[in-house]
Amino acid sequence: ARSLQETPEVKDFLPASDLEEWENVPQLRGVKTLVLGSRVDFPIYRKYDWTLSSEGHSARVICAGRMCKPSSEVDQEEESSLLDFLNNAPIAMHWLSGTGHVLWCNQTELNVLGYTKEEYFGKPIMDFCPDEQDLVLEIFKTLGSGNTIKDVPVRFRTKDGQIRELLIDSNVNWNADGSFRHTRCCIRDDTNRKVREERLQSSHTLPTPSRHPP
């Protein structure tokens, strides 16, 4: 979609002969829109006015959006500081849609799994944990019931094919009307705990030395 957030009203550029046609074009005003700009790597909700039009006789629909109220320079500086914290935090974080698609993750998570934003954003989370489909469905069922999950172990597959043992904490950010907005997930590496458990289990299976002299 074309963004007109930094331009005057579209009608200001139209000749009088086209103004009536433009005013008859379907418009959606004040729509809360999830945007990801070039300035930051974090999705932010903004209100946009959207104009919908068709391209000739084709089935293609053109959406032109204009931000209703751009943020002030001071707000942008404060926002940038917060977004830098989230994107570079020492813990991996992501948002999932109600359909299980990745809306956003921070750079830490990309580093853990080895993917780029283009390879990760917009994809079903099940693409990255293909051995855990039943578990992922159960997690979404739990979250959709309004519950929070903590320390749930999930195996993720990295870009180079390795399996990473991760722990997930998550709950849901709900819309005002009670509908599913997105998850709020924090992910921690569980490899060290798994290694300790395996070593402990191995030590318990070692043969016990005889206490009787030969």
pTM: 0.63
Whether residue 160 is predicted with pLDDT greater than 80 in this model: the reply is yes
Whether residue 174 is predicted with pLDDT greater than 90 in this model: the reply is yes
CA-to-CA dists, residue 2 to 6, 32, 50, 67, 118, angstroms: 11, 16, 10, 11, 20
Residue 78: φ, ψ to 5°: -65, -40
Whether residue 46 is predicted with pLDDT greater than 70 in this model: the reply is yes
Residue 56, Cα to own-chain centre: how many angstroms?
35
Q: Which residue type does 63 have?
A: C
Structure-token match 């139209």, residue found: 14
- Would the CA dihedral through 108, 109, 112, 115 be positive or negative? negative
- Would the CA dihedral through 13, 14, 19, 21 be positive or negative? negative
Report, as an integer, the average pLDDT of 144-170: 95
Q: Which of 173, 156, 171 is nearest to 112 (CA)?
A: 156
Whether residue 124 is predicted with pLDDT greater than 70 in this model: the reply is yes
Whether residue 94 is predicted with pLDDT greater than 50 in this model: the reply is yes
Whether residue 23 is predicted with pLDDT greater than 70 in this model: the reply is no
User: Measured between alpha carbons, how far is 96 from 121 in angstroms, rounded to an integer?
Assistant: 10
Name residues whose C-beta falls within 8 Å of residue 146's C-beta, 6 or more positions apart in sequence. Answer: 172
Binning pLDDT at 50, 70 and 90, where does residue 93 land?
A: very high
Report, as an integer, the average pLDDT of 60-73: 71
